[in-house]
Structure 1
Amino acid sequence: MSASILQGFLMRQIMAFILLAVAGTTHAEAIKGLRFVHHDWTLACDNTRTCRAAGYQKEMSDNQPVSLLLTRKAGPGEKTSAKLMLGQYEEIAVPEHLRLHINGSDHGTLSVADGDWTLSMAQTNALLAALSRNSRIVIIGSDGRHWTLSDLGAKAVLLKMDEFQGRLGSPGALVRKGNRSESSVLAALPAPTVVLAQLPPTRTKDIGLAQSPVLRAALQAATAADDCAGLSAEGSPLSRQPQPLTITRLSKDKLLASILCWRGAYNEGNGYWVINDKAPYRPILVTTSGSDDAGNTINAASKGRGLGDCWWTASWGWNGVRFVQTAEATTGLCRLVAAGGAWELPTRVTEVR
């Protein structure tokens, strides 16, 4: 993939990560998730209206890596839970105890179980109050080490969380409290169920379609050139020849066509299309960022940077008629907290059967 094509693709991925989409409807299928990033904090709300906010140490600082995760389900009266992760991208000795200090005041020892540090409700409430204004939040280990959590961006993130969950102006709002009845807060929604279809065997003639120039031309016509250089008859930096197609039967008249579309410094993406099993093929693009598939499922995963401390993931499932997105998430900001990322921050959740 050329530098300009790769740059264009990555920019589209970054924009997708921070895209805000809130739909005012009561059906879980129609609720879109929200992702928002401001300074040292990020927010992800999923289609059940559960929200997760993560804060970190200041970017480009000498502070030791640390991250705090706030989780709140939708609905009246729901509380916010909080847990902490110390930077562990590089192996560290974990202190025996951690204490929370806010603006110089000691708020007690954090609880720990199975390596997870959790805040009590009193500690969480004190922290939430501090995050709505300028505050100094420090985690002090029993060995004397300090981890400083940035408050920069927290107020905007918490305000966005309240807005998504319909809490603005209510007593339970995190930032902008008011007297609006708590019963008016938006209710939680169930995760939609996706039932995967069983696939019939792929036929010999299906496999032969991989050599069809008519099919390749149809895929090219349905896909932006920048999104899938592997389809090009002129070849690409992937190789000096077009990439080979793979064909899998989905149903009595539908097939799945796939091809390696692009390759970057530390990521690559496969394209997947649902097509008719004979011309006209009428391809419907599922994604050009796929990593692997099992026929009735497609998975995607890509690093935010080569260090692998932040990821984007997604998946789709074949329900017998079309591919439905079953999951989408990131692991938070790239702050060297943990290999593979500190948290799972979904914007799309489903129950797959």
Structure 2
Amino acid sequence: MRRRTGTKITSISKLPALAAGFALLSTAAMAEEMKEFRDWRAGCDNVMQCAALSLPKEDDSAIAYLRFERSAGADAPAALVLRVLGDWKTPSARVELKLDGVAFPVSAEAVETEAGSGTLSLTFTPAEVAAFLEAARKATLLTVDAPGMTATVSLSGSVAAMLWIDEQQGRLDTTSALIRKGKGTKVPAALPLPVTTAKAAAGRLSDADKKALTTAMREALTRQGEDLCEDDEVLSDSDEAWPLDGGRHLIDLACSRGAYNLTTAFWLIQGKDVATAKPVHLPHGESDTDNTLVNADFDPKTGRMEFFSRGRGIGDCGIIGSFAWTGDAFTRTGFSMMGECRGIAPVDWITLYRSTVK
């Protein structure tokens, strides 16, 4: 079995090779929040779709975890999935579950999440979800027996996490509550997703024009005494520039590189005059003026920008986010995070902001 050593990230600013000023989350900068409940983490996004995760222990050699998710609205179903990590020889396997030593029957086999991913996923039926949540009120440990391995999942904090989700979604004392049920039936409806219309870049620059713009931008920063970007030929080979509408250009400079993180800074300029450069507003943490992203990728054909700030090389912790160019600014379109390095795949991280991008 593969062993993953756990690491807790107390602040994104402490992730290796990240630009100064990054932080996991600031309630001043974001209305969304993430909560700790012993061995569980929970969070809700901007439309009150909430998720909760169990955290494997830091010294676990066999890793399994539960992921719960539920959208807002009285009729929204609750979803629960079990992930089991291992070196599987087959795309599916029968797993046996026990709650404090008592068998908990499930109707389906665990199947590989993605070919070659090394992760088996077991999706609970609606009836199994309800039965599991009821049993979790008293149980403390889920034991997972799979071919060639046994893993455990702590349930400590799970009930508190579900109760918190009920509270965020306005379900307390209603018939749709997960934990504190009542006779009430009024539950706030789900909020509509924000809609952003992305605008593609106006074209592309020749290699010579791109080099001239990025070189001029670096020289301007040097004259201004800015030390944001390292003066390194290898880094400068990754510099980019794109023409936007209205004669504006987007410039990105590769500022620093670590073992698995590349920090890039972004500016908008009028025409080709770097003296007009203004930092691109990319809110993603404590600072609302930071124009740096880690492992960023701008797609000029769609006007969309994504980033993935890794907490460590295997990418099981950090932050993931996205922006879209609207013709006026880069608007945040997505944000998810995982503050502890415990083998949890990015697809399962807690989403704190989502939107629809056209």
Would you say same fold, with TM above 0.5?
Answer: yes
The residue number in structure 2 matching 1:148 is 152
- CA drift of 1:329 comes to 2.1
Distance across 1 between alignment mates of 2:339 and 2:293: 19
Distance across 2 between alignment mates of 1:283 and 1:218: 15
1:145/1:349 CA distance change after superposition, 3 Å: same
- CA drift of 1:168 comes to 3.1
Contact 1:50/1:73 (CA < 8 Å) preserved in 2? yes
1:80/1:321 CA distance change after superposition, 3 Å: same
The residue matched to 2:277 in structure 1 has which SS?
Answer: coil
1:203-226 deviation line (CA, Å, top 9, x unaligned): 6797444343698349978x8x5x
1:24-75 deviation line (CA, Å, top 9, x unaligned): xxxxxxxx4433344432224222321121214333245x200111111101
Distance across 2 between alignment mates of 1:111 and 1:270: 45
1:197-252 deviation line (CA, Å, top 9, x unaligned): 2322356797444343698349978x8x5xx333xxxx3xx569988853321111
- TM normalised by structure 2 equals 0.74
Distance across 1 between alignment mates of 2:67 and 2:18: 30
Distance across 1 between alignment mates of 2:233 and 2:194: 41
Is the counterpart of residue 104 in structure 1 residue 113 in structure 2? no
The residue number in structure 2 matching 1:27 is none
Distance across 1 between alignment mates of 2:333 and 2:189: 22
Q: Which has the higher contact order (CA 8 A, sep 6+)?
A: 2
The residue matched to 1:281 in structure 2 has which SS?
Answer: strand
Is the counterpart of residue 36 in structure 1 residue 35 in structure 2? yes
The residue number in structure 2 matching 1:229 is 229
The residue number in structure 2 matching 1:29 is none
The residue number in structure 2 matching 1:138 is 143
Distance across 1 between alignment mates of 2:59 and 2:20: 22
The residue number in structure 2 matching 1:200 is 202
Distance across 2 between alignment mates of 1:9 and 1:174: 39
2:132 alignment partner AA: L
1:118/1:36 CA distance change after superposition, 3 Å: same
The residue number in structure 2 matching 1:257 is 251
Distance across 1 between alignment mates of 2:22 and 2:318: 11
Matches within 5 A, 1:157-236: 157-179=161-183, 181-183=184-186, 185-202=187-204, 207=210, 208-212=212-216, 216-217=220-221, 228-230=228-230, 235=231
2:259 alignment partner AA: A
Give the CA RMSD over aligned residues: 3.7
Matches within 5 A, 1:40-59: 40-59=39-58
Larger helix fraction of residues:
1
Distance across 2 between alignment mates of 1:5 and 1:46: 24
1:330/1:294 CA distance change after superposition, 3 Å: same
The residue number in structure 1 matching 2:286 is none
Contact 1:100/1:140 (CA < 8 Å) preserved in 2? yes
Which of 312, 317, 335 in structure 1 is aligned with 2:319? 312
1:113-162 deviation line (CA, Å, top 9, x unaligned): 75331223332223223444552222234x58432111133234223322
1:174 alignment partner AA: L
Is the counterpart of residue 283 in structure 1 residue 279 in structure 2? yes
Distance across 2 between alignment mates of 1:109 and 1:50: 26
Distance across 2 between alignment mates of 1:94 and 1:203: 46
The residue number in structure 2 matching 1:71 is 69
The residue matched to 1:196 in structure 2 has which SS?
Answer: coil
Comparing 211-220 with 107-116, greater Cα deviation is found at 211-220
Percent identity between the aligned chains?
25
The residue matched to 1:259 in structure 2 has which SS?
Answer: strand
Which of 252, 260, 263 in structure 2 is aligned with 1:266? 260
2:324 alignment partner AA: G
- TM normalised by structure 1 equals 0.75
Distance across 1 between alignment mates of 2:267 and 2:320: 19
Return 5+ residue gaps in structure 1 as ranges.
24-31
2:265 alignment partner AA: G
1:56-107 deviation line (CA, Å, top 9, x unaligned): 4333245x2001111111011323111111113x446677422332233322
- CA drift of 1:348 comes to 2.2
> How many aligned positions are there?
323
